[in-house]
A and B are shown apart, each in its own frame.
Chain A
Amino acid sequence: MMWRVNSKRLAWPAGTVLSEADLSACNIEALVAGEHLAPVQEKRSKRQPAALVEPDESAEEPEEQD
């Protein structure tokens, strides 16, 4: 889970994205309630994974040339 700084009152400038490890000494729930932090929505890629291309067995092998 990642968190974006929304407040000017934290040690990090507004807009900074922090991990839970960065905030280990903080009460994240209280900081979110106070609107100092907001959860960062993880973006999911819209790209489909590349389709596997099966080798075409019918393709002719190149003729050997002398």
Chain B
Amino acid sequence: MARIVLTDVGVVLGGVDLSDHIASVEISQNYDEVETTAFGDGGRTRVAGLEDSSLSLSFHQDFATSEVEATIGPLVGGTAAFEIAPFGTAVAASGTAPRYSGTVLVTEWTALNGTVGDLSTADVTWPVVGQIAKGTGA
């Protein structure tokens, strides 16, 4: 299997493609660890509990019409559907080009961040509502 260099990840939030203003993406799928150890077990036993995943993104801030601030600002405090396509939104989902989708709770937003001479960025980590779905086109 070929290694992947990320050059064209598609990121759609609330139906809006903001890929060209995002420099970093992380889909973190986690499950609660539920202990099931009982008498007679020689060691601790565990099963996976509820999924508790999150989506982290690094935005390049842009205050222009229909750009980053105009899109994310109205979503703060609410939920937004997301879709992440590792090879761009134009590539159909398949086993080797999966798409991840779900809903996030937009819990934080940094409208302005940076020091003199820096690019203004906004790094966020939003909790996923429910579960992340992995689409393979099947």
Contact = CB atoms under 8 A, between A and B. Distances in A.
B65 A31 contact: no
Nearest to B68: A34
B16 A9 contact: yes
B80 interface: yes
Q: Interface extent on A, as a size class?
A: 10 to 19
Q: Is the interface of B mostly helix, strand, loop or mixed?
A: mixed
Interface string A26-64: 110111011110000000000000000000000000000
Given A7-B16, A11-B15, A36-B16, A25 B81 contact: yes
A27 B17 contact: no
Contacts of B80: 27, 30
Interface of A: 6-11, 23, 25-27, 29-31, 33-36
Residue of B15, B70, B78, B79 most packed against chain A (CB within 10 A):
B15
A44 B74 CA distance: 32
